[in-house]
Amino acid sequence: MTQTPKRSRAGKSGSAAANPAPSSIPQRPRVISPPVQRTEQFLPGDVAWTRAIVENAVDGIIIINERGLIEFFNPAAERLFGFEAYEVLGKNVTVLMPQPYRDEHDGYLDSYVATGKAKIIGIGREVTGRRKDGSTFPFELSVSEVLLDDRRIFTGIVHDITRRRQAQEEKDRLLRDLNKRNIEITCLYRVEESIRSREFLTDIFTDVVTLVEPACLYPDIARARLTFDDAVYVASPFDETPWRLTVDIIVAGRKRGSIEFFYLEQRPDEDEGPFLKEERGLIEAVASVLGETVERREAEAKVIQASKLASIGELAAGVGHEINNPVNGIMNCADILIQQSEPGTKMRQFSELIRSEADRIARIVHNLLTFSRQEKERHSPARLCDIVEAVLSLSRKRLIKSHVDLRVDVSKDLPKLKCRSEQLQQVVMNLLINSLHALDERYPEIDPDKILSISARQIQNNGASFVRLTVDDHGCGIAPSNLHRLFDPFFTTKGRDKGTGLGLSVSDGIVKDHGGTITIESELGVFTRFHVDLPLKNSWSLEEPRS
């Protein structure tokens, strides 16, 4: 029987091991116990098989010597780092490292060779690699040591974890966003709670600035400021900085205030600078809620106030009718006394005085009833001088009591206006009361400059004719920041006992209904001048009979 010769365990010179036949089946490599592998333990026939595995591995495999020079660079490593193998072979492995790893690596390697204390070898860890184009990427590095006779080499397995890192970063971002959304939702909820529970807007605004600060991206250095109708609300003092976010508070289509955020120091850009896009959305939502709240509350107050005014009008009408009866009796008695007394006697003088004062009371009551009555008729001809005189008959005593120097210059020769005279009386009355309050505020006592002027003249504007009524006072004036809001319903700079904030708003509506305009000139602490321009295109001529 012929014996099959045994396979020799020759070293590297075996030709069969160096050039195995294509049809030969590679043998399974022997498992070498760690920590040190010796290449002479591998069979010669295993070299090609091992090389095929190494060169087709998914992960990069890099072999360096004790000096850190690259001796092997597999195709996967080429794909990861962008270098061809010939470009890095013989070069220091630090070419694949960004700073600060590049400067530190040789020191680590020398320390291990000298002391034998491993810091990386045998321990996988995440590091950063540098590609040929200078870009970096994260990978997981596993390093093992191999002894080759009298020298050692180090094998590094490089596993790209870019996708894993991106997935983790996305997960972290989503968690941060979720936490941020929870904070924002909580903020909006608490703002709504404040709106429901607080009676006064000032308390709501104070709550808002304390609630929105923690909802910022960097709450520890964020400061909020809310302004509304020139009032300022802050949670804590701060200085304005360049890193600011501002959102307007709009009420009924008009800007009434704003919410501002400041960072006390610069932060990395996020979407729109230091403020996230979602963060801006939160502030816009809060500002929108506040605008709607103010608009709703002012509308409710307007309904309540209108109801009160209607009740007062009904009461005034009732009182006026009740006064008319005794006044008529006084007038009749005075007439009888005048008829029975001799001219020139004190009895005749007193009787005529009683009749005159009773007439004045009757005119006041008539004007009061006319003023409070809802006008349902169409526009009719009226003289502006009569409208002004009717208002002064109701307020002259008050002007005298306040020691106001009243100056009236309203000519009877002005063309008649086609108007609702009772409504224009209301306009004149509102302007007169406003001027009186301004004068009393600036001059509590008698003063020669306590002047109120009412004048009228015919003017031309863009080819059309108007009658301009001007009410001018030397009172406290109006702040420039308040001029654009004077005709807003319920806006007033007076105390609660001096105004409702409806007079100018109602007056503006009446004048516009007549096709006219109200304009204002004012200087704070000097004067205020209201101009009421009423068109004459539908006026009556002076030759027509006066009603």
234 and 212 fall within a common domain:
yes
445 and 541 fall within a common domain:
yes
Query: CATH number of the domain that 66 lies in?
Result: 3.30.450.20
Domain assignment of residue 509, yes or no? yes
CA–CA distances in Å: residue 505 to residues 119, 189, 300, 508, 512: 82, 35, 16, 5, 11
Query: CATH number of the domain that 241 lies in?
Result: 3.30.450.40
460 and 528 fall within a common domain:
yes
The answer to whether residue 455 scores a pLDDT higher than 90 is yes
Domain assignment of residue 302, yes or no? no
Domain assignment of residue 132, yes or no? yes
Residue 530 C-beta-side C-alpha neighbours within 13 Å: 27
The answer to whether residue 470 scores a pLDDT higher than 70 is yes
The pLDDT confidence band at residue 489, using thresholds 50, 70 and 90, is low
154 and 170 fall within a common domain:
no
The answer to whether residue 48 scores a pLDDT higher than 60 is yes
More confident residue, 86 or 43: 86
pLDDT score recorded for residue 120: 66
Can you tell me the mean pLDDT for 423-427?
A: 86
Number of domains in the chain: 3
The answer to whether residue 122 scores a pLDDT higher than 50 is yes
The answer to whether residue 18 scores a pLDDT higher than 50 is no
CA–CA distances in Å: residue 19 to residues 16, 23, 28, 46, 257: 5, 12, 17, 11, 87
The answer to whether the beta carbons of residues 452 and 439 sit under 8 Å apart is: yes
149 and 196 fall within a common domain:
no
Look at 193-197, 278-282, 423-427, 432-436 and tell me which has the smallest mean pLDDT.
Answer: 278-282
pLDDT score recorded for residue 87: 92
Domain assignment of residue 343, yes or no? no
More confident residue, 12 or 171: 171
181 and 285 fall within a common domain:
yes
pLDDT score recorded for residue 300: 84
Look at 301-310, 377-386, 476-485, 525-534 and tell me which has the smallest mean pLDDT.
Answer: 301-310
Domain assignment of residue 484, yes or no? yes
Q: What's the mean per-residue pLDDT of the chain?
A: 78
Domain assignment of residue 411, yes or no? yes
The answer to whether the beta carbons of residues 419 and 465 sit under 8 Å apart is: no
The pLDDT confidence band at residue 2, using thresholds 50, 70 and 90, is very low
Domain assignment of residue 322, yes or no? no
The answer to whether residue 469 scores a pLDDT higher than 90 is yes
User: In the listed set 258, 276, 294, which residue is the last one of a domain according to the structure?
Assistant: 294
pTM for this structure?
0.48
218 and 129 fall within a common domain:
no
More confident residue, 355 or 3: 355
Can you tell me the mean pLDDT for 79-105?
A: 86
41 and 75 fall within a common domain:
yes
pLDDT score recorded for residue 83: 93
Percent of the chain with pLDDT over 90: 14
User: In the listed set 279, 294, 309, which residue is the last one of a domain according to the structure?
Assistant: 294
Tell which phi-psi region holds residue 534, choosing left (phi > 0), alpha (psi between -120 and 50) or beta: beta
Best-predicted range by mean pLDDT (10-24, 360-374, 382-396, 481-495): 382-396
Domain assignment of residue 271, yes or no? yes
The answer to whether residue 133 scores a pLDDT higher than 50 is yes
pLDDT score recorded for residue 471: 93
Can you tell me the mean pLDDT for 340-351?
A: 87
190 and 148 fall within a common domain:
no
Summarised one tens digit per residue, pLDDT across range 99-120 is 877 777 666 766 666 666 666 6
Structure tokens at 190: 């608490």
258 and 150 fall within a common domain:
no
486 and 500 fall within a common domain:
yes
In order, the DSSP letters of 201-255 are: HHHHHHHHHHHHGGGSSSGGGEEEEEEETTEEEESS-----S-EEEEEEEETTEE
Structure tokens at 20: 């195995």
Look at 149-163, 314-328, 422-436, 449-463 and tell me which has the smallest mean pLDDT.
Answer: 314-328
Percent of the chain with pLDDT over 70: 77
pLDDT score recorded for residue 226: 92
Give CA angle at 230 (225, 231), nearest 5°: 55
410 and 519 fall within a common domain:
yes
More confident residue, 8 or 181: 181
Instruction: Report the SS3 class of residue 312.
Output: helix
Print the domain residue range for 535: 379-547
User: In the listed set 240, 272, 294, which residue is the last one of a domain according to the structure?
Assistant: 294
Angstrom distance (rounded) from CA 456 to CA 18: 120
The answer to whether residue 401 scores a pLDDT higher than 60 is yes
Query: CATH number of the domain that 411 lies in?
Result: 3.30.565.10
pLDDT score recorded for residue 25: 35
Can you tell me the mean pLDDT for 398-403?
A: 87
Summarised one tens digit per residue, pLDDT across range 143-185 is 888 887 778 888 889 999 888 888 888 887 777 777 767 777 8
